[in-house]
Structure 1
């Protein structure tokens, strides 16, 4: 596998980075918008606080509220997205810090809206939907459902003000991307660099066992040095969620978090059980097949991400990926193909690998603007699957923005991965149907298992099993520290993989790699 050296953000090709001018033409325009927003939010509170019990006033206030919400959403992405790709840049940090003042103003001036809506009579809220805003039926339904879990207006104001403080997720990101420094490592007579991005995007999948295992040793050595810091960040997040669940009258943290996602506890518990009983055996068979094909007699967790056929790789340029995606996803319609073209032409995707960039991939969609996609391009065909996945999110939320109010923008996490995972399957089916090369087809099927299935099903479900156990410990007021978190993680991994692999030293620190843990 070719060596990739991370470069400073200033050295990457700007043509393959995000075009932030889609949001604002300049930093000056962004700062002008921040000043405008602070004034608008203050005026909004002065005009509408304690006035929402009138149908006409409520209709007017909600429309203004939507406009402010959309503007804040836009500004937040201009401030926060560059932090995910260039967090060592002082100007980027300055812009993000400037937006924090808007967050404080929002908490001070806008939080009364939800508190007052929840205090209104249910019949009045239903009348508002019927006579003024039928499109907000889902939003109002959620408002009504929160009535029994809402605190006093003063208490809600305090909680809103506290929410503007830096989150434990932000602290985790600083630790992960600014403080952690990974040692280079020796393999096959060469010295190779290591980092969070390089390990998760390159070294972990390297077909050369010596490279893969030396990289893992370097990677987990650094994680171990920061395990107590990250444990305190994570445990603080857990305690915050426990506090909120108790204050709002939920039976458990899990019930509190599921309610936010329109989740059913019975369904949730069944899924947790099924992972270990129904999905684990299939993954164990696959791991044993990997070990056999690669001739690995001591298969370990750090070997689990390798390809079935290590000598078969398909190189891919960024422009070639566009054509593959249009052909594969064209089955979804002309508007879908048009969105794909727009994503390339208008630079929705940030492709480079550089110092200070976040790991993994995501899509952050600003309604009626763009679906900003983050990934680290490796020049291989598997990136087509990543792009297909993130474009699924983009189309979903761009469509939502076109047809729904910003107040209906969020969806349950139970659903959110469906359009994206579906896209990966569509691309796989297209590649299988249009190729006669048996080895290529084998690669596609292997990719579906090792990436689409392993990541979207196995990895996330294993995270759920782990979190389920940790949340129950929090509910039972059991002691948590870095070693406890690691021991629980190791137990889950050993139960799931069985005798198909050994959970190598350091793999129990995998809980330190998951930003999702800070999002409930």
Structure 2
């Protein structure tokens, strides 16, 4: 379906960000103007007073930039075939190049301040704490101003691989209709959101064959594009004086290398046995002669799946998230009622689902609504991000709002677990309870924990090769991904030809070491949920209040301190191990 044919009730309203074309141009002009005002401070940041003045301007700049940049990005995500979306992105990129160049001196000049001035600023300029703390830490890796200026001007080039991938998937990749008992339409989004998880084995397998046959045609180009991303990250790690690309990327998340390595090793060691057991359950359910990669996401209890309207979803969310209190629930439901969610299914729309939060405003959520209970879990997940965004902006400046990527999936996971818990406790039907547990595996954990976990294992090997100076091409990426899949699934799953092309499907590889943060956030969220399960009512109130206060810290706490504040230990992979064990316990319950 084309975007123009979609019911307006299913579309989001982006006018809270940008009202119209005139407002878009006005905000771009304001963005550039503020950057010029900041540039007037070049060579003049000498003391606390001048530092505070320029940072106040920078704060205003970020607020404007977030609105106009977010609008351009969201407009593109709703329909990548719309040429106007490319116009918005191009106009934004032009303005951003000018603005970034105007402000390229800022980090360097602040880092040149004496340590006593920086220390005083950290103590007194709380509105810029996260930024100043980052700069003080980065002093050890500071390149010359000329290098920084050049890198700033090259920002559009560094960001290009992600845009090229999005453009290729949304604008170029096209599939043939499937020939079953009737002709079935096939798109990238339909495969990822519907066919891959279909209970119809013929549809699952034929759509997989069509999917990989088409994606294979683009593997050389997309591998070259990905290699460009990898080389850029490696080059930046060297420019900034890091020993490896891992150290550079993990520094951006404020995570120690040993925490990351323990994480990947634990995934490889502990998770496969549980998921192989689950794969056997799926094989038995469908009476398959062999379990293939194309069957992994087949629903275990499709007979329990029922149609759910968007209106119905509000009731489930209200009851499932009631533990957070009336204010939290009302703010959550507003996203549905105020058209802050795009529910549409149309060609060119970004696949999957995401939440984008805006300072002192609200969040926008993108989802392709299929009308199933799974969609309610997706909504609960994304609106968990929205709740996090709202609390993060409550008591913080925009500079301090964003927390580490490492814990970003925690609030969303907690929402899903609470929804599942409500559903289990709302019935005496043991089969329905079993179905909810199946949803916890298929929805909450499978994609975000298992799929992205496999990606994280694969990604580590890719970056290891990059650190050794190897070039990456399609053959090498296919080899690494196939080896990763075969090691993970063993003899229990046949890794079909084309399975290795899975690396082409995700945009996460253009976001640094993003995939492993899914399991990190899920682990912290699971641990918090389990604490709530074993607590008294008064203890639950204290846990929830502490949780909200933790979200309000924004980016002020390191991921490890964030987890500690919630009473969760991530050192040594403890939370991850406990969560994997919990996944195993759920699968054991399902097996009974």
Alpha-carbon offset, residue 259 of structure 1: 0.7
- Matches of 1:449 and 1:500 in 2, distance apart? 18
Partner of 1:349: 341
Q: Which 10-residue stretch deviates more, 102-111 or 257-266?
A: 102-111
Instruction: Give the Cα–Cα distance (whole angstroms) in 2 for the partners of residues 199 and 461 of structure 1.
Output: 21
8 Å CA contact retained: 1:107, 1:164? no
Counterparts of 1:33 and 1:266, CA distance in 2: 43
Q: Deviations over 1:185-228 (max 9, x none)?
A: 112x2111111100001110111111110100000001100000
CA–CA distance in structure 2, aligned partners of residues 265 and 36 of structure 1: 40
- Among 406, 417, 424, the alignment partner of 2:398 is 406
* Aligned residue in 1 for 2:128: 136
Alignment of 1:418-429 (within 5 A): 418-429=410-421
Residue of 482, 486, 494 corresponding to 1:494: 486
Preserved contact between residue 101 and residue 152 of structure 2 (Cα < 8 Å): yes
Whole-Å Cα distance in 2 between the matches of residues 42 and 284 of structure 1?
58
Task: Tell me the distance in 1 between the aligned counterparts of 2:143 and 2:45.
Answer: 18
1:331/1:284 CA distance change after superposition, 3 Å:
same
Secondary structure of the 1:80 match is: helix
Gaps of 5+ in 2: 513-592
1:145 aligns with 2:137: yes
> Which of 88, 100, 103 is the matching residue for 2:93?
100
Write the distance in 1 (CA, Å) between the matches of 2:402 and 2:141.
20
Give the C-alpha shift of residue 322 in structure 1: 1.1
3-state secondary structure, aligned to 1:363: strand
CA deviation digits over 1:284-337, x for unaligned, max 9? 111111111111121001101111112221210001101110111121122211
Among 469, 472, 476, the residue aligned to 1:480? 472
RMSD: 1.3
Which residue number corresponds to residue 59 of structure 2?
66
Provide the C-alpha distance between the structure 1 equivalents of 2:86 and 2:227, rounded to a whole number of angstroms. 26
Aligned match for 1:31, one of 8, 11, 25: 25
Match of 2:119 among 109, 118, 126: 126
- Worse-matched range after superposition: 250-259 or 453-462: 453-462
Cα deviations by residue, 1:152-198 (Å, 9 ceiling, x for unpaired): 111101101100345200011111111111111112x2111111100
Task: State the alpha-carbon separation in 1 of the partners of residues 263 and 402 from structure 2.
Answer: 23
Q: Distance in 2 between matches of 1:478 and 1:63?
A: 44
Aligned to 2:452: 460
Superposed CA deviations along residues 78-113 of structure 1, whole A, max 9, x for unmatched, are 111110111222222222222122211221112222
C-alpha separation in 1, matches of 2:46 and 2:185: 62
* TM-score in terms of structure 2 length: 0.85
* Shift, 1:237, TM fit: 0.4
4+ residue runs over 6 A deviation:
none
Give the TM-score taking structure 1 as reference length.
0.96
Deviation larger for 27-36 or 314-323 = 27-36
2:499 equivalent among 481, 504, 507: 507
Check conservation: 1:182, 1:218, Cα contact below 8 A. Answer: yes
**Is 1:194 aligned with 2:191?**
no
- Out of 163, 179, 199, the residue aligned to residue 155 of structure 2 is 163
SS in structure 2 of the partner of residue 372 of structure 1? strand
**What is the rounded CA distance, in whole Å, between the counterparts of 1:436 and 1:124 in structure 2?**
64
- The whole-number CA distance in structure 2 between the counterparts of 1:246 and 1:24 is 39
